[in-house]
């Protein structure tokens, strides 16, 4: 999507270490934004992103234009009608239609043997795996551990939009999520700490959460066990 950071870099490093050829897609996909202002303010910088990818030694960058990816004006799309309707899908209607559609297009065009996805977007990761299985795509989806700051905050392009004071407060999000005994208690503690909570859900051995802090949206998920940094 652009706005590359160390989390993206870790995916590229793993790919270059495990494969003979690594291709990185760089495409700010507007179809997965349900909020126009979020798309317009997304902190992508093509020149900086290309410089980082050059330093990482990737073999090719696929950076298409919107009209090239959507010659049909997004008339045809991929829709999943169960797991995409909760959590992120509930908060961002149509988001996963855009995600799955563009991922299918990218995989079809590049035809990789492996594709690397971060676990920060765990719901997305599971939906991509399900789509690959459903359409018999000959690609292995490789999950990669979430990259975090020393305080435990998941790295995200949107973190760049945090003010100094919000950046100091943001690490409370993962700490509260990992120490609260229940999702309901996590919501209570997060609201008390000044976060606007969209959801906190315990599901299939993981805790998922999305909050807003001074207008910046943060999401994350964790296995239901206490990590070392708490």
Given 8, 95, 105, 167, the catalytic residue = 8
Q: Could you tell me how many residues make up the chain?
A: 230
Known catalytic residue at 5: no
Chain centroid to CA 193: 24
User: 110-113: long-range contacts at Cβ-Cβ below 8 A with a sequence spacing of 24 or more?
Assistant: 110/23, 110/25, 110/62, 112/23, 112/139, 113/19, 113/138, 113/139, 113/140
CB 3 within 8 A of CB 161: no
Q: What is the DSSP letter of 157?
A: G
Any residues with CB less than 8 A from the CB of 108 and at least 6 apart, and which? none
- Strands of 216-223's sheet in order across: 196-203, 206-213, 216-223
Q: Is the dihedral of CA 162, 3, 171, 85 positive or negative?
A: positive
Q: Indicate which residues carry an active-site annotation.
A: 8
């Amino acid at each position: 999507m652009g706005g590359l950071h160390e989390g993206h870099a870790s995916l590229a490093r793993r790919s270059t270490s495990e494969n003979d050829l690594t291709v990185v897609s760089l495409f700010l996909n507007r179809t997965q934004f349900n909020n126009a202002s979020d798309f317009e303010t997304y902190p992508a910088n093509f020149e900086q992103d290309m410089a980082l990818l050059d330093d990482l030694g990737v073999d090719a960058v696929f950076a298409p234009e919107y009209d090239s990816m959507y010659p049909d004006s997004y008339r045809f799309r991929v829709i999943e009608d169960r797991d995409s309707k909760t959590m992120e899908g509930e908060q961002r209607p149509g988001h996963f239609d855009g995600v799955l559609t563009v991922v299918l297009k990218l995989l079809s065009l590049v035809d990789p043997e492996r594709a690397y996805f971060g676990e920060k977007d765990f719901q997305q990761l599971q939906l991509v795996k399900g789509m690959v299985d459903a359409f018999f795509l000959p690609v292995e989806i490789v999950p990669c551990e979430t990259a975090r700051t020393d305080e435990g905050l998941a790295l995200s392009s949107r973190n760049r939009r945090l003010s100094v004071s919000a950046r100091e407060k943001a690490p409370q999000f993962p700490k509260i999520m990992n120490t609260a005994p229940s999702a309901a208690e996590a919501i209570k503690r997060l609201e008390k700490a000044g976060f606007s909570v969209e959801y906190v859900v315990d599901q299939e051995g993981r805790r998922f959460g999305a909050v807003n802090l001074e207008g910046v949206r943060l999401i994350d998920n964790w296995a239901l066990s206490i990590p070392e940094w708490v």
